[in-house]
Amino acid sequence: MNKLSALLFALLLSAGALPPDAVAEGGESANLALVQSGYAAAAVGDMDTMVSLMAPGLVWHEAETLPYGGIHHGPEAVMQQVFGAIGRDWSDYAAEPTRFIDGGDHVVVLGEYRGVHNDSGGRLQAPFAHVWRIENGLLVEFFQFTDTALWLSAAAGETAP
């Protein structure tokens, strides 16, 4: 999986699917390559690959005050309740990583969300920190940290606070 994930990341980075300034810190572990390949797959809409990286018992912690907020269990729930809902509500949506920090069985990703709300036309630009936990080569837990006020303002068509 390490070689495959690293190859996928390198190919998608060279194809422009990830920003060229995305930086990896802390080494080049299999877990880091796994997380990087997930962002690369999501950037090109390859959700099948994204799901293949998730453990069946994945626990996904989405920021509570967002419409998709709360704890979601399993890849199917995440695809429907998070990614499906975001796809319904936002156009030109992206979670653009700028920094990957390898912490062994945890990988932290810093970046920025961008998108346009389909109903209000509000523009989203909000920083994020994602914390991933990996076991046995699969994503088992995700924590999202973001400025939810920016999300809610964009959804309402308001200027960011």
CATH number of 128's domain: 3.10.450.50
Q: How many angstroms from the chain centroid is the CA of residue 138?
A: 15
pLDDT for res 29: 87
Domain hosting residue 60, numbered range: 2-155
145 within a domain of the structure (yes/no): yes
CA distance 38 to 33: 9
Would you write out the chain's pLDDT as a tens digit for each of its 161 residues? Answer: 334 344 334 434 434 444 444 555 555 689 999 999 999 999 999 999 999 999 999 999 999 999 999 999 999 999 999 999 999 999 999 999 999 999 999 999 999 999 999 999 999 999 999 999 999 999 999 999 999 999 999 999 987 66
Q: 161 in a domain, yes or no? A: no
In a domain, 85, yes or no: yes
**135 within a domain of the structure (yes/no):** yes
- Comparing CA positions, the residue from 109, 130, 126, 108 lying closest to residue 117 is 126
Cβ–Cβ < 8 Å for 92, 117? no
C-beta of residue 74 within 8 angstroms of C-beta of residue 140: no
Q: At 158, is the secondary structure helix, strand, or coil?
A: coil
Q: Into how many domains does the chain fold?
A: 1
Q: Is residue 160 in a domain?
A: no
